[in-house]
């Protein structure tokens, strides 16, 4: 162990740790979940510190040699070389001050050693240098926005684009397969299997659009507001220059917040982004659950499609294969919906000039993005891309569907159509056969009205 000092006095810190006294205090204070901040968040935090140091060097806020060393140390945080030094639980101080301090101390000690100083000597100071022009209260919300915007743009939107494309391809492939529609899980008028898959593709495309609409607000950064939104102790031009550097480095059009009091006192952009993620989760749940139902059986249920067989489905029933990918996606959706509830309540706890539930909001938001990105890719590559249709089974079921009588209702009236349907069901006969006896229509008229393809194209059949 070694002795480190902060404003509250001396603390023993592991000799090999790059963090210091304040981080150790927080580590001791919050042994709650064992859940730490994600790689994306630490990357974003390092990015802020690196470009802030370069800006301070340019502005001459402190010695340029120290600023250069701090920037180089922060770049190692960006690269992931120091993730093991970020040791704090997400359930900590609601501002995330402990994690901001963790970053400051690690970067300061790395930079100090690079300049020939002794670890803990504060040649590069965590507050006076690494945190210059900043506060946890503007750094942490800035890191949340940077991490979330990058993850959505680089991971989630491309994954959804690939999924939508494959669903659209399947819609074209299955366009000639006519099958029973179902409402309330009961037989309904015919649809084409391609139409169902086209609906799934549209759901994903709309989800992509909603997420894209959330990006402009996430690309607005709180940096520059410092403690309460006034910008106290931030050098003139510091935030604008630092944010411009971050935008240039990431290729994402980040900009300074229009109103720093909104940016720090509220987390509405995070709540809105989480809402869009929740809608995507609901869409994925619906699609995955439909695939599960449509492939059910395979001998005794619907079985209109075949999912790829990936693994044995039972430890006791030989030959059983289950829809494991859809089930996995459904659990991801449940987790994301739960995350959104926590984010929503977190967003409601903006008190005066600061939200005090930022760490858990950051964790849940970034976890939701990561889960949805991975689940969309897995659903695409391991399930949707390999789906096959059973056209024979679809035809068999739709021919037995008594609800095709709906196409005759405009010609013979609802009551007679209902009587034909009930008779067909009670006697185990086909609608065409019973309609030929009761409807008074000719064979040609029945064939025209009961053409299954035309029933899927709208209008009055025949």
Closest to 294 (Cα-Cα) out of 375, 378, 199: 199
In whole angstroms, what is the distance from residue 376 CA to residue 352 CA? 39
Max Cα separation, the chain?
100
363 is catalytic: no
- Catalytic-role residue among 184, 295, 315, 373: 184
184 is catalytic: yes
As a whole number of angstroms, the distance between CA 199 and CA 210 comes to: 17
Write the CB contacts of 220 (distance below 8 Å, at least 6 apart in sequence).
145, 254, 255, 256, 257, 258, 263, 269
Residues with Cβ within 8 Å of residue 166, at least 6 apart in sequence? 380, 384, 385
Asked if 223 and 48 touch (Cβ cutoff 8 Å), the reply is yes
Partnered with residue 10 across adjacent β-strands are: 5
Q: By C-alpha distance, which of 138, 1, 4, 126 is closest to 53?
A: 126
Beta carbons within 10 angstroms of residue 29's beta carbon = 13
**Token pair of 384, please?**
């949707």
CB 14 within 8 A of CB 1: yes
Q: Of these residues, 121, 172, 314, 442, which one is catalytic?
A: 314
β-strand 9-13 against 2-6: which pairing, if any? antiparallel
CA dihedral 81, 44, 70, 15 (to 10 degrees): -50
Q: How many Cα atoms sit within 13 Å of 263 on the Cβ side? A: 30
Picking from 247, 240, 80, 265, the residue whose alpha carbon sits closest to that of residue 149 is 247
Show Cβ contacts of residue 93 under 8 Å, excluding neighbours closer than 6 positions: 26, 359
Catalytic residues: 184, 314
């Amino acid at each position: 162990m070694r002795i480190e000092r902060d404003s509250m006095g001396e603390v023993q810190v592991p000799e090999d740790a790059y963090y210091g006294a304040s981080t150790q205090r927080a580590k001791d204070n919050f042994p709650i979940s064992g859940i730490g901040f994600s790689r994306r968040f630490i990357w974003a935090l390092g990015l802020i510190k690196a470009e802030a140091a370069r800006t301070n060097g340019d502005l001459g806020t402190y010695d340029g040699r120290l600023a250069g060393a701090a920037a180089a140390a922060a770049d190692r945080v960006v690269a992931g070389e120091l993730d093991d030094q970020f040791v704090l639980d997400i359930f900590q101080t609601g501002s995330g001050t402990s994690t901001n301090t963790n970053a400051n101390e690690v970067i300061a000690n790395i930079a100090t050693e690079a300049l020939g100083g002794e670890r803990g000597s504060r040649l590069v100071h965590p507050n006076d240098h690494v945190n210059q022009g900043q506060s946890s209260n503007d750094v942490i919300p800035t890191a949340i926005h940077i991490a979330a915007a990058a993850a959505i743009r680089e991971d989630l939107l491309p994954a959804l684009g690939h999924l939508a494309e494959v669903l659209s391809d399947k819609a074209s492939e299955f366009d000639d397969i006519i099958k029973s529609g179902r409402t309330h899980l009961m037989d309904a008028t015919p649809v084409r299997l391609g139409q169902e898959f086209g609906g799934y593709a549209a759901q994903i495309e709309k989800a992509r659009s909603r997420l894209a609409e959330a990006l402009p607000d996430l690309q607005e950064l709180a940096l520059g507001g410092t403690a309460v939104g006034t910008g106290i102790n931030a050098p003139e031009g510091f935030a604008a220059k630092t944010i411009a550097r971050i935008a240039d480095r990431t290729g994402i059009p980040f900009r300074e917040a229009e109103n720093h009091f909104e940016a720090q006192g509220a987390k509405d952009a995070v709540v809105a982004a989480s809402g869009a993620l929740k809608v995507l989760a609901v869409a994925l749940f619906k699609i995955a659950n439909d695939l599960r139902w449509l492939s059910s059986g395979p001998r005794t249920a619907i079985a209109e499609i075949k999912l790829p067989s990936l693994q044995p489905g039972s430890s006791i029933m030989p030959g059983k294969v289950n829809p494991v990918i859809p089930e996995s996606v459904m659990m991801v959706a449940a987790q994301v919906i739960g995350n959104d509830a926590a984010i929503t309540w977190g967003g409601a706890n903006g008190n005066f000039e600061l939200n005090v539930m930022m760490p858990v909001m950051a964790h849940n938001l970034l976890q939701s993005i990561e889960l949805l990105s991975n689940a969309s890719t897995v659903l695409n590559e391991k399930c949707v891309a390999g789906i096959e249709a059973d056209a024979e089974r679809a035809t068999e079921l739709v021919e037995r569907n008594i609800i095709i009588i709906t196409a005759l209702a405009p010609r013979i009236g609802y009551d007679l159509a209902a009587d034909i349907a009930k008779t067909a069901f009670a006697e185990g006969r086909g609608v065409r056969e019973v309609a030929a006896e009761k409807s008074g229509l000719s064979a040609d008229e029945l064939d025209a009205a009961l053409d299954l393809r035309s029933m899927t194209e709208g209008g009055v059949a025949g």
